[in-house]
Structure 1
């Protein structure tokens, strides 16, 4: 594809309402994006109708396709189209409504990697969920599996951090354009992704602001880029479960981390396992899914309580936290023994302490 034609693909991506199916309709009718952009209003009305023809005419008054394209490229934003066969992500090309234009930042080439895993979950995870997302993502990344997620707060962000901790590339899929990175608190995380050789990708032009509609659409790209979608923690009604629906439609495998049966944040992931999702009970589960050998132990050793006292105290500590004073009363231990056992559990990394002083179980 020459630069002029690509510039017109970019121009159409700026028109509200011209998604993958309507763009393909334009290509089929006019033969090229350039021809479609320069078509008469009468011709366009026959293909798209009054509303979309009006939207296109409004953009024609504002945009100069070639100038627009050069400005985007000058900002070190790579533009990939479905016609860029050696660069466009192969897995994403397989889905029914592949984005016809992708805007990318980062020195990353899909053809250099074999395995892609989406790691997703709630924006309000428990400490258990955060730890699971970080450890599983880090260990997978250490094996060369590229972690894909949505750069959101909670599980998404922790999945990206796990890959970064492994000094490995990870892919952040945005629900907005690069000029309005959301959430803003992840601006530093986005920069770290780029520094580790990862990729930021969006189907939205750089000037696009985040919206309620853009994030569900973004989710189909997260699953579309991946061989499987791992749900760490998710309520039954959540954006995570929307991504699961996309994954199933796309023929992707759904994986899930089991969680406490009394935790609302684990209701969705537990239900998925009950319905046949691939259960991830350890790092080895991910390696087995991708048929990768477990050659060496990961950095996260599996530690267990060493005594009955440690086991009994651990069982009293909920995943959502408990204050030490309350735990001491429930344990019925001598105070000195209580703090000795508590210290042993902390050293082993089996429990942690939140900012408000509550002890929680990982």
Structure 2
């Protein structure tokens, strides 16, 4: 795989003719501000692993979508499969404090999008981001994580295993921040603009009214990208942001086809998608079970489930434990919720 020298004089190719004179001067001025210490760190990071890549603004490997930003990253540090950056991704974003139902929705949509031939891009944050990466990485590593730290750090630290899985399965982790750079509050809006710009569209799964997720969605809309939102319970504050976006013109999404019909030229045929998503396991066939059907997508109390099935609570708990182990339901405060798509 090709990598790029970090000689400060060769950080960018001499050919910047695709830029306006004003932009070229700005790029050159920015290059001049790069400290030698940062260059040394980057050179050290680059040679540590053959999966480490440094992509400059003038490189052919640099994503074209990012060049449209008012202040595009001058350098991208990429860990993993470099070709992921040239394949169309769809962004999935949402709350860090997502419900079990929201996590299930994000993971399910990500898996189905990956089966359709699209990559999934997100920010590797807790909650919806992580669920999206987990859903897509299982399908040929079809995910891109954009991080708000240097490429040599993992944040949050508990996502070390996810970070490793993304790289090992063929995905990519990218950053515009130099090695050694810790997470800082101002880094994450910059990360979000990369997600919004690289995504051919943005799907929002759970968000409060005042959240960074809505800012990302606005960035995508301002760039002329489609914004999709998953509706939910009107009494749940975690879905109020999605409802707001729908009121503002975002497309309401309840199934994969609501997204794919906007990108039919980029995806596999509907027959292939149906075949891939239609391969149900024996566990998933339990979705027609009466007891499972009595569990709602919102929190359902144990005694309500027992009453609906005319069964002792002990029998219900035993059955629910089996369903939980099979990924059909999730235990939450106050009872259980059924995972969407199960």
TM-score interval w.r.t. the shorter chain?
Answer: 0.7 to 0.9
- Who is 1:360 aligned against? 337
- Who is 1:100 aligned against? 74
Q: Within the alignment, does 1:83 sit opposite 2:58 as a pair?
A: yes
Deviations 1:59-83 (CA, angstroms, capped at 9, x unpaired): 75xx367645532321343111211
Structure with max Cα Rg: 1
Question: Which structure is richer in relative contact order (CA contacts within 8 A, separation 6 or more)?
Answer: 2
Deviations 1:101-140 (CA, angstroms, capped at 9, x unpaired): 1111112215752x31000100111121111111110011
Measured after TM superposition, the shift of residue 275 of structure 1 is 1.8
Partners of 2:91 and 2:303 in 1: CA distance: 40
TM-score, reference length from structure 2: 0.79
* Root-mean-square deviation (Å): 3.5
Question: Greater helix share, 1 or 2?
Answer: 1
Measured after TM superposition, the shift of residue 216 of structure 1 is 1.3
Which of 154, 157, 161 is the equivalent residue of 1:181?
154
Q: Within the alignment, does 1:172 sit opposite 2:139 as a pair?
A: no
- Who is 1:191 aligned against? 164
Tell me, yes or no, if the aligned pair for 1:26 and 1:33 is still in contact at 8 Å.
no
Deviations 1:195-217 (CA, angstroms, capped at 9, x unpaired): 11111101100110001111111
Partners of 2:70 and 2:100 in 1: CA distance: 37
Structure 1 unaligned blocks of 5 or more:
10-23, 38-55
Deviations 1:157-177 (CA, angstroms, capped at 9, x unpaired): 000000122233210000111
Partners of 1:306 and 1:107 in 2: CA distance: 40
Structure 2 unaligned blocks of 5 or more:
13-20
- 1:138-153 map, 5 Å: 138-153=111-126
In structure 2, the CA distance between the partners of 1:251 and 1:187, relative to structure 1 (3 Å rule), is same
3-state secondary structure, aligned to 1:230: strand
In structure 2, the CA distance between the partners of 1:121 and 1:274, relative to structure 1 (3 Å rule), is same
Measured after TM superposition, the shift of residue 148 of structure 1 is 0.1
Q: Within the alignment, does 1:159 sit opposite 2:132 as a pair?
A: yes
Tell me, yes or no, if the aligned pair for 1:323 and 1:358 is still in contact at 8 Å.
yes
Partners of 1:318 and 1:135 in 2: CA distance: 14
3-state secondary structure, aligned to 2:7: helix
Measured after TM superposition, the shift of residue 360 of structure 1 is 1.6
Measured after TM superposition, the shift of residue 250 of structure 1 is 1.6
3-state secondary structure, aligned to 2:254: coil
- Who is 2:7 aligned against? 4
Q: Within the alignment, does 1:254 sit opposite 2:254 as a pair?
A: no
Q: Within the alignment, does 1:216 sit opposite 2:189 as a pair?
A: yes
In structure 2, the CA distance between the partners of 1:6 and 1:229, relative to structure 1 (3 Å rule), is farther
Measured after TM superposition, the shift of residue 189 of structure 1 is 0.3
TM-score, reference length from structure 1: 0.75
- Who is 2:302 aligned against? 324
3-state secondary structure, aligned to 1:140: helix
